[in-house]
A = this chain, B = another copy of it.
């Protein structure tokens, strides 16, 4: 295993400490139990947003704590959902009396643990379940996974909450953004979970995994490695099937790397994806390219498209001050 690490057991906590120290102007780390919250608490009466999930997807979610986005996040062990006591403690720490919105990626572990926390939390709360991964059919037994679209939900709802939207409005907006968003990814390599020390799966030199999640697992199928253009066409096709965007539609195009894919390749994918959708008459009104929702050191990438309207554009453009996304302030 080629990693910067002392022992797997202390990696997460030391790394969280490093993150909190490097961004001490924005966040604060709570150690027992683990959660990260804004240094500057939200104003009383603001709906607070809490997300979380397994670690190993950085900058998701810790990199999105701050003004205009999340109020707190609960990092679990690597690829392991956090536990209810974390969410409960985080909720109690940041609640400003206007309710707590949990933003949860649709995985059994995350859903159940957040559910337990929500049941234990004795104040108004609601949950937005993100399930933007269109590599699975909409009818999948437990629904689709939440992947790179999550940060778009977090950004837009974060802006609305900052502007004073109430809990019901935040919940409704989160569901709406989630509905307007579709993602799909492909992996060129597996990744290595530190505690295990070897890649989760093996892929031949000329193979790739189509339709992967973000936990280093295999995807829907192993297919021959293809050119960037062919890959983009397939991914874009799956997204088009879902969203069926019409000419003239404004969209946010997010090209996300899984951690081991350099920017030069992500910008190539962006260029090809933008061509695909511009050819169909779409207006790429906003863009985001980079490694945002990662699977440790996995080489691979996903495309995410969100259908925009005036309101969503305004929410996307609203000031945000987090470790990983910052503009307007």
Contacts and interface: CB of A to CB of B under 8 A. Distances in A.
Interface of A: 2-6, 11-12, 14-19, 21-23, 55-56, 58-59, 63, 78, 188-189, 205, 208, 225, 227-229, 231, 255, 259-272, 274, 284, 287-289, 291, 294, 296-297, 299, 301, 326-329
Given A21-B274, A22-B270, A264 B11 contact: yes
Contact of A270 (B18, B266, B289): B18
A6 B269 CA distance: 10
Given A21-B274, A270-B18, A5 B326 contact: no
Contacts of A227: 5-6
Contacts of A297: 260-262, 299
A14 B231 CA distance: 15
Contact of A268 (B14, B272, B284): B14
The secondary structure that dominates the A interface is: mixed
A287 B274 CA distance: 34
A176 to B, nearest CB: 25
A43 to B, nearest CB: 22
Nearest to A232: B4
B2 A225 contact: yes
A329 B17 CA distance: 28
Contact of A22 (B19, B231, B267): B267
B188 A59 contact: no
B2 A228 contact: no
Contact of A5 (B228, B294, B296): B228
Q: What's the number of copies of this chain in the assembled complex?
A: 2
20 contacts: A4-B188, A4-B228, A4-B265, A4-B268, A4-B269, A5-B227, A6-B228, A17-B271, A18-B268, A18-B269, A18-B271, A19-B267, A19-B289, A21-B271, A21-B284, A21-B287, A22-B287, A23-B287, A262-B296, A291-B291
Given A227-B6, A271-B18, A262 B259 contact: yes
Contacts of A6: 227-229, 268
A5 to B, nearest CB: 5
A193 to B, nearest CB: 11
Contact of A56 (B11, B16, B262, B288): B262
Contacts of A291: 291
B262 A58 contact: yes
A289 B261 CA distance: 18
Contacts of A328: 329
A18 B274 contact: yes
